[in-house]
């Protein structure tokens, strides 16, 4: 996800305003000198090809000062002035902002191979062991081998369907807990419970065990999402990285060490279990990836020949991070919108009752029959995309797109939040939560409909989109089937705070609190 900083934090830089102004003046003078030097200027302007339009930037920092606290909203406003393919300069990095379905299709489908790589970042280097996982890794043979491995060994439909029982067990634990809360009219921190649920589901599927509360993994994941999504000046003005003006390097070291300790324990536990004579017969994802060291010529031979302990930990972290943070955020927004719109909630509950009859629990086989629930999920993801800005891509070569010249190593950021709020696509009631707008529509969530692509699209689309949709729909269906939900303290639906926070994902700014009550038919 695109790394950005809130305006408030950016202005501080841990410097006084006077010191910061002096630094800007010095670099501004240096910038002007370079522009006046004919030999350098001719190199800078070696091409006269048309660039995408964009606002004027400042020396050194470019347009970083314009991003604000919620960059997806700021970029949306700018795109309304400069168009769906807009050019910015973030520090020294040329950046293209894409804000329409047609433009997104050009970058993510028509010319997908040119934009199939990822830019490196300090966060991914620190936290993913030199970018050895999948989501943030540069294009190449290693990335392809990791993606192939994760898809076949965890994210294929066959593997996912085989783990249905594990997901059900985790969900039933939450339902039982909520039933107890319902009998005492207890206010539930829905956001926190969803974090625990998605963590438990992930642990069961990846690690073959239930969530260990002592590990505190959900807290680590939340901090990871925040710091990976935050703007780090070292990524855009590299020579300032050594100064650590924002303290990000120190934070990365601390959270990286915490995450590494957890991952080391996970790997050691699996190695010890495998060495025992009574080792388990049913291998989980970590068991499979550890077995690669003894299978250099199999279907995953390329990965096996290039993997080490750091790579193993990076891949495990990638899978845990992607599974927990995205599903939790999506479910949180859907439940928020359902509570705000009792009419829609009742329609979802009625549909579920019509499909499953007197069954107490929703099965995954029921999900394909819940058409209105599917529309609710789409509408929520339109208004609240898990990633408002898709993880940036990087151009592998110079190219002309829609008449605009885009140089090699440019950063490409697709603003899905902007696309989801475009009245030219969704009509003038674009701000309204209205699932019925999808009646008769062929728009899906698989990345082929560029009007709605919460999981991305093309080569770098999320390979876990099938698992993500199952988790999201199953949890929402069960929570609204088993319980009615009301806001606490006499709060009306209109009073629910729907402010968002910005990071790698876009969670609610404040936790969702609600009171469940048991449904009786």
The model's pLDDT over 257-271, given as tens digits with 9 standing for 90+, comes to 999 999 999 999 889
List CB contacts of 368: < 8 A, sequence separation 6 or more: none
DSSP lists the bridge partners of residue 4 as 230
Residue 9 has a pLDDT of: 36
Q: Residue 321 falls within a domain, yes or no? A: yes
pLDDT band at 281 (very low <50, low <70, confident <90, very high): low
Nearest residue to 224 (alpha-carbon basis) of 154, 136, 304: 136
Q: Residue 435 above 60 pLDDT?
A: yes
Total-model pTM: 0.89
What is the arithmetic mean of pLDDT over 280-290? 83
Q: Residue 352 above 90 pLDDT?
A: yes
Q: Residue 480 falls within a domain, yes or no? A: yes
pLDDT band at 222 (very low <50, low <70, confident <90, very high): confident
What is the arithmetic mean of pLDDT over 345-360? 96
Residue 25 has a pLDDT of: 45
pLDDT, one tens digit per residue, over 443-481 is 999 999 999 999 999 999 999 999 999 999 999 999 999
Q: What is the CATH number of the domain that holds 17?
A: 1.10.630.10
Q: Residue 190 falls within a domain, yes or no? A: yes
What is the arithmetic mean of pLDDT over 20-35? 46
Q: Residue 1 falls within a domain, yes or no? A: no
- Under DSSP, the state recorded for 433 is -
Yes or no: say if 386 and 326 are a contact pair by the CB < 8 Å rule: yes
CA distance 155 to 423: 35
Contacts for 431-439 with beta carbons within 8 Å, 24 or more apart?
Answer: 431/383, 433/337, 433/340, 433/341, 433/344, 433/379, 433/380, 433/383, 434/379, 435/344, 435/372, 435/375, 435/376, 435/378, 435/379, 436/375, 437/375, 437/379, 438/374, 438/375, 438/378, 438/379, 439/375
List CB contacts of 29: < 8 A, sequence separation 6 or more: none
pLDDT, one tens digit per residue, over 30-46 is 544 444 444 334 334 44
CA distance 250 to 258: 13
Domain count, the chain: 1
List CB contacts of 103: < 8 A, sequence separation 6 or more: 84, 85, 402
Return phi, psi of residue 352, to 5°.
Answer: -60, -45
Strand order in the sheet with 513-518: 188-189, 513-518, 483-486
* pLDDT over 70 percentage in the chain: 88
Q: Residue 151 falls within a domain, yes or no? A: yes
Residue 521 has a pLDDT of: 55
Helix (H, G, I), strand (E, B) or coil at 110: helix
Residue 472 has a pLDDT of: 97
30-44, 70-84, 119-133, range with greatest mean pLDDT: 70-84
Q: Residue 2 falls within a domain, yes or no? A: no
> Rounded to a whole number, what is the largest CA-CA distance in the chain?
80
Q: Residue 420 falls within a domain, yes or no? A: yes
Return phi, psi of residue 473, to 5°.
Answer: -70, -40
Q: Residue 103 falls within a domain, yes or no? A: yes
Residue 240 has a pLDDT of: 82
pLDDT band at 350 (very low <50, low <70, confident <90, very high): very high
- Under DSSP, the state recorded for 504 is S
Q: Which residue range forms the structural domain that includes residue 153? A: 7-518
List CB contacts of 157: < 8 A, sequence separation 6 or more: 466
């Amino acid at each position: 996800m695109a790394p950005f900083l809130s305006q408030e934090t950016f202005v501080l830089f841990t410097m006084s305003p006077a010191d910061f102004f002096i630094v800007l003046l010095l670099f501004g003078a240096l910038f002007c000198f370079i522009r006046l030097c004919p030999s350098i200027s001719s190199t800078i302007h070696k091409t006269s090809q048309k660039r995408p339009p964009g606002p004027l930037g400042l020396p050194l920092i470019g347009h970083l000062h314009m991003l604000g606290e919620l960059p997806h909203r700021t970029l949306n406003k700018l795109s309304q002035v400069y168009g769906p393919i807009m050019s910015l300069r973030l520090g020294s990095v040329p950046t293209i902002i894409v804000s329409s379905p047609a433009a997104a299709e050009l970058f993510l489908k028509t010319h997908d191979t040119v934009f199939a790589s990822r830019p490196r970042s300090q966060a991914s280097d620190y936290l993913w062991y030199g970018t050895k996982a999948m989501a943030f890794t540069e294009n190449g043979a290693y990335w392809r081998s990791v993606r192939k491995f994760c898809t076949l060994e965890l994210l294929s439909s066959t593997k996912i369907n085989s783990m249905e029982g594990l997901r059900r067990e985790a969900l039933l634990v939450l339902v039982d807990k909520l039933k107890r809360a319902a009998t005492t009219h207890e206010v539930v921190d829905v956001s926190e419970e969803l974090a625990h649920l998605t963590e438990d589901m992930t642990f069961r599927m990846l690690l073959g065990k239930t969530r260990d509360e002592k590990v505190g993994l959900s807290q680590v994941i939340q901090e990871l999402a925040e710091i990976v999504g935050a703007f780090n000046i070292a990524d855009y003005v590299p020579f300032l990285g050594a100064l650590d003006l924002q303290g990000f390097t120190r934070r990365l070291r601390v959270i990286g060490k915490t995450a590494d300790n957890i991952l080391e324990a996970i790997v050691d536990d699996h190695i010890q279990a495998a060495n025992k004579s009574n080792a388990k017969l049913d291998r989980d994802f970590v068991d499979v990836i550890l077995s690669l060291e003894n299978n250099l010529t199999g279907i995953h031979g390329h990965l096996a020949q290039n993997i080490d302990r750091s790579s193993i930990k990076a891949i495990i972290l990638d899978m845990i991070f992607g599974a927990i943070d995205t599903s939790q955020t999506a479910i949180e927004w859907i439940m928020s919108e359902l509570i705000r719109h009792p009419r829609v909630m009742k329609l979802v509950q009625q549909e579920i009752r019509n499909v499953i009859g007197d069954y107490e629990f929703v099965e995954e086989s029921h999900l394909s029959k819940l058409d209105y629930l599917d529309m609710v999920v789409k509408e929520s993801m339109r208004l609240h995309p898990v990633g408002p800005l898709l993880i940036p891509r990087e151009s592998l070569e110079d190219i002309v797109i829609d008449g605009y010249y885009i140089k090699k190593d440019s950063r490409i950021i697709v603003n899905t939040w902007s696309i989801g709020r475009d009245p030219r696509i969704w009509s003038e009631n674009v701000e309204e939560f209205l699932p019925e707008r999808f009646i008769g529509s062929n728009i899906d969530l698989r990345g082929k409909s560029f009007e709605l692509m919460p999981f991305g699209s093309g080569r770098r689309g999320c390979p876990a989109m099938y698992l993500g949709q199952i988790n999201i729909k199953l949890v929402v269906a069960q929570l609204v089937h088993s319980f009615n939900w009301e806001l606490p303290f006499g709060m009306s639906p209109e009073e629910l705070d729907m402010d968002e926070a910005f990071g790698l994902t876009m969670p609610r700014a404040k936790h969702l609190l609600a009171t469940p009550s048991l449904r009786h038919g």
